[in-house]
Structure 1
Amino acid sequence: MADLREPLPTDPPSTAGQEGSWPEGAILVVDDEPGMRNFLIKTLAPRCRFVAAAASAEEGERWMRAQRFDLVILDVALPGTSGVQWLQALREQGYGGEVILITAFASLDTAIEALRAGASDFILKPFRVPQILNAIRQCHERARLRRENFVLRRHVRPSRSEGTPLIGEAAATQAVRAAIERLAPMPSTVLIQGESGTGKELVARALHERSPRAGGPFVAVQCGTPSAEQLARELFGHAAGGHGGHDGLFVYAQGGTLFLDEVADLPPPVQASLLRVLEERQIRPVGSQQTVPVDVRVIAATNRPLADEVAAGRFREDLYFRLRVVDVTLPPLRERREDIPALVQHFVQTLAPALGVAPLAIDAEAMALLQRYRWPGNVRELRNWVERSLILGEVNVSALYPPLREPLAASPGEAPLDLETLQRRHIQAVLDSVGGDKTRAAQLLGVSRRTLERRAAEWAAQDGRGR
């Protein structure tokens, strides 16, 4: 058996732009003629990452168990199992790659049988180099379109006009813009940290769109799935019958960016697998012994400080340092209040036409109230408020925090309340307004959840002693 391995170099090969090149692809040639195998190996080796050859379907089967192939060039007339029979078996076992059938004994019936079996193309021998390279180019394009369609079906891409973390001239906003411009051209892994609603995914997209990978896919995945196995299958793929099963998101993101949202929620087994991927640049599909090289930039995001998760033993320290090659921290909206007028204007201008309603004017008094509000939901909450105001046709700032605008005085006939009692009633009113959600209440009050829980425990102890 002829065998030639060509690892993908760090820099793209000079032949990468040639017709029929597939620099990240692996190709298996199955033909019982040594001359044809050698001819195809010589032609394809400079144009793909890896090429292997086999003299029979049985030999090809062994290769398929050991290595993932993006394309199979398969002779119809083989000793033992024919090319068409093996193609049918491959499809039944879950192989979803491209297959080009080649034959010197063509007939209409053979061609029809080949296409029904799942062949991508059908070429007659003898053929010239441009013919096979053109067929490979078309296979490469089909595979690329399949990946893009999968990504588009899975996640509808938002308009870049909603790149809200980049709107405004506050010092913190300018720092984020500068970080994006500096980091976008780099291949390094980036960790984006910030509260919920600060625009972490939009920053990740901006890094992708300004990078050399902008022509490749941007694939986003939520890490907080109920099952570690489910997330592993989604990220790394799953082997069915030893022939690839379905590809994972790392494969669909080839040549582009994989965005891991809320990475702090990664289950421990997936953390270990992700660490290996970042170190080795290879994935191993669930249930497979094969490894698949991946060329993907990883950008991760979290709304919880990962250093705290590491200290609490919930996140691997070695993975934390792998992800935090470079980090970007997004400021909450309350730390860049001067950007609120520009953001409101942006949302009114973009949402009013989309909703088919007239724009609203925000007067100076309403804008001042908007700038005093703490915005626990950050830019996302501001956008939702603008959208709700446009739909209702009125500017109602007080609806943002009614509990905080109602005076908490003593009831008629009661003695004046001391500061401690007023504070307790105020906190209880906020808790009641959010259905007892302590995290949300703490955000509205401007304190940490731990502080809120400590005060509640103190009051419960006082109530117990007073009985």
Structure 2
Amino acid sequence: MGDILIVDDERDIRELIADILEDEGYTTRLAGTSDECVAQLGTQLPSLMILDIWLKDSQMDGIDILTKVKRESPEVPVVIISGHGNIEIAVAAIKQGAYDFIEKPFNIDQLLVVIRRAMETSRLRRENTELRRTDFSTGEMIGSSATFKGLKSQLEKVTKSNGRVLLRGPSGSGKETAARFIHSHSLRASNPFVTLNCASASAERMERLLFGSEANGQKVEAGLLEQADHGTLYLDEVADLPLDTQARMLRVLLEQQFQRVGGTSQVNVDVRVISATSRDLEGEIAAGRFREELYHRLNVVPVDVPSLGERRADIPELAQHFIAEFHKTDGLPNRELSEDAAAYLQTMLWPGNIRQLRNVIERVLILGPDAGAIQSSELPSDTPADTNDSRVVLSGAVAQLPLREARELFEREYLLTQINRFGGNISRTASFVGMERSALHRKLKSLNVVTTARGGSRIATVEESEDETRQGSAAE
């Protein structure tokens, strides 16, 4: 249930408290002097401290130890106990950051109530810290494709306002990086950027995480909204926010104020909310899982974040960025990406998007040699592990086609891949495949391949093919 450090110069007192707490399922450690206490803290931080004010034969008293703990480990709650308690000591302890003050001789039931509340505070602090952790994302945007430049242009416009933004895109496509870019280039950049994964906790815990908690008119724990005051709160996968929490969040957006869980007073905040989703929120609204009013409040500025497959031209640059990042943070080899490896990465399927690419690069750096350029042979392959020759393994469907149809299918897929790889740039594609640009255009037309608005390509529909035929006839 939790590790509690009990510090008291009276052996009978600390052993009595330990027996009571161990009966309740807690793990305890004991210290009789300030030196023993410091040694215990150096071994392992407890989830909670019970600390006597007066410590005989010690270099530090309880207030000194409290000051040290709050300076070095502010996340550890400290409950002060004393047989010489008075209002001045209690006020001094609370000012130094103590969670609560209990006077000896104490009531066991009262002690247990305070311990339970303090342990809940400790758990929430650890949970908040975990939720705010990031994967080294600092808002640095990497890429040079037309699709990426369009996204970055949208984000730059958004940074100039204070409006709420809804980032829409598949999982792993870089929505949090986009949110951090908005924050770091806004007037709120010097204030906190706080993240919340809306699928990370139960409805009750989510309320405490967001709004904080209060007991007996005193703040027990600040929620993420308070921590993000004057900064930005990023709601990841907002579709998973519990319905009851959605109602409270709507009120925050309308009034910029709320009540802590268990509290009665209003807390005012100035927070910009950026939310993200990989789901269809309109569909969630129709299914009764998301509040339409909240959707309209969050969706002031919608921004679509493209998948990695829509910006294949950026893959080599992203891969090289991750190589440099892992070298800096983890000491992994700082290798270059060979041309064949870069080309191979651009032809791979990326259902996990940028997150998947990052994982692939990390795996290659860990398992590969310490020097030399990364080769395509080091990258994951969908071909059978025992295929060591140069034969092409055909699927059953392709193997049954006549040669002409199989060749058309191959050419279509090959050119689709290359056009997407080069972000829809026909000149670069033609140069790579060894064709004149005009010849490539004719080949694409014959294969019913059309370029898309985002710089990629796809197979033309029957209607589009018929339109092109009619336009050609009219021109003749």
What TM-score results when the alignment is normalised by the length of structure 2? 0.53
Query: Paired residue for 2:95?
Result: 119
The whole-number CA distance in structure 1 between the counterparts of 2:384 and 2:331 is: 32
Q: Does the residue aligned with 2:186 lie in a helix, a strand or coil? A: coil
Superposed displacement of residue 361, structure 1? 3.6
The aligned counterpart of 2:363 is 388
Query: Any conservation in 2 of the 1:255–1:296 contact (CA below 8 Å)?
Result: yes
SS at match of 2:234: strand
Q: Distance in 2 between matches of 1:154 and 1:376?
A: 25
Deviation of the 1:308 alpha carbon = 2.4
Q: How far did 1:337 drift?
A: 0.7
Q: Secondary structure at the match of 2:166?
A: strand
Question: Sequence identity of aligned pairs in percent?
Answer: 42
CA distance in structure 2 between the partners assigned to 1:402 and 1:355 by the alignment: 31
Q: How big is the shift at 1:294?
A: 1.3
1:302 aligns with 2:294: no
Whether the 8 Å CA contact 1:218–1:256 is kept in 2: the answer is: yes
Matching residue of 2:155? 180
Give CA-to-partner distance per residue, 1:163-221, whole Å, 9 cap, x none.
3xx21111221122112211113111111111111111111111111111111111101
Taking the TM superposition and a 5 Å limit, the aligned residue runs for 1:268-307 are: 268-307=243-282
Residue from 322, 334, 337 that aligns with 2:312: 337
SS of structure 2 residue aligned to 1:374: coil
Find the residue that maps to 2:302 and give its secondary structure.
strand
* Cα 1:117/1:389, change in 2 over 3 Å: closer
State the Cα distance separating 1:380 from its structure 2 match: 1.0
Partner of 1:235: 210
**Other-structure match for 1:223:** 198
1:437 maps to what in 2? none
Aligned to 1:401: 382
Which residue does 1:155 correspond to in 2?
132
Per the TM alignment, residue 381 of structure 1 is displaced from its structure 2 partner at its CA by 0.8
- 2:221 counterpart SS class: coil
Q: Does the 8 A contact of 2:193 with 2:228 survive in 1?
A: yes
Partner of 1:88: none
In the TM superposition, what whole-angstrom CA distance separates every residue of 1:318-375 from its partner, at most 9, and x where no partner exists? 1111000011110001111111111122122222343434333433332222111121
Would the alpha carbon gap of residues 357 and 319 (structure 1) be closer, same or farther in structure 2, given more than 3 Å must change? Answer: closer
Q: 2:250 and 2:393 mapped to 1: Cα distance?
A: 51
Query: Which of 271, 275, 288 pairs up with 1:313?
Result: 288
1:263 corresponds, among 238, 249, 274, to 238
Q: Residue 111 and residue 316 in structure 1: after superposition, are their counterparts in 2 closer, same or farther (change >3 A)?
A: closer
Shift of 1:305: 2.3
How big is the shift at 1:317? Answer: 1.0
Cα 1:272/1:154, change in 2 over 3 Å? closer
SS of residue in 1 equivalent to 2:167: strand
**2-side partners of 1:227 and 1:162: how far apart?**
29
Distance in 2 separating the partners of 1:355 and 1:114: 46
CA gap of 1:402–1:302, structure 2 versus 1, over 3 A, is: farther
What secondary structure does 1:358 align onto? coil
The 5 Å alignment of 1:203-218 reads: 203-218=178-193
Q: Which residue of 1 aligns with 2:353?
A: 378
Query: C-alpha distance in 2, partners of 1:177/1:379?
Result: 16
> Equivalents in 2 of 1:154, 1:316: separation in Å?
24
- Structure 1, residues 99-118: CA drift from partner, whole Å, max 9, x if none? xxxxxxxxxx9996365442
Structure 1 unaligned blocks of 5 or more: 1-95, 97-108, 122-147, 411-415, 420-467
Distance 1:306 1:180 in 2: 21
Q: Name the CA distance, whole Å, in 2 between partners of 1:154 and 1:222.
A: 7
Residue 264 of structure 1 contacts residue 309 of structure 1 at CA under 8 Å; is this kept in 2? yes
AA in 1 matched with 2:254? E
Unpaired segments ≥5 residues, structure 2:
1-74, 76-84, 98-124, 369-373, 386-391, 403-476
Counterpart code for 1:253 = A
Task: Write the letter of the residue equivalent to 1:401.
Answer: D
State how far apart, in whole Å, the 2-side matches of 1:224 and 1:151 are: 14
Q: Deviations over 1:422-467 (max 9, x none)?
A: xxxxxxxxxxxxxxxxxxxxxxxxxxxxxxxxxxxxxxxxxxxxxx
Residues 242 and 116 of structure 1: CA distance in aligned 2, closer, same or farther (over 3 Å): closer
- Which residue does the alignment assign to 2:417? none
Q: Secondary structure at the match of 2:219?
A: coil
Does the aligned pair in 2 maintain the 1:370–1:397 contact within 8 Å?
no
Task: Tell me, yes or no, if the aligned pair for 1:344 and 1:382 is still in contact at 8 Å.
Answer: yes
Tell me how far apart the structure 2 counterparts of residues 387 and 202 of structure 1 sit (CA, whole Å): 19
How many residue pairs get matched? 282
Distance in 2 separating the partners of 1:226 and 1:214: 28
Instruction: Give the distance between the partners of 1:352 and 1:315, measured in 2 at CA.
Output: 42
Task: Tell me the secondary structure at the aligned position of residue 336 of structure 1.
Answer: helix
- Which residue identity is paired with 1:364? E
Q: Distance in 2 between matches of 1:400 and 1:283?
A: 52
3-state SS of the aligned residue for 1:118? helix
What residue number does 1:137 align with?
none
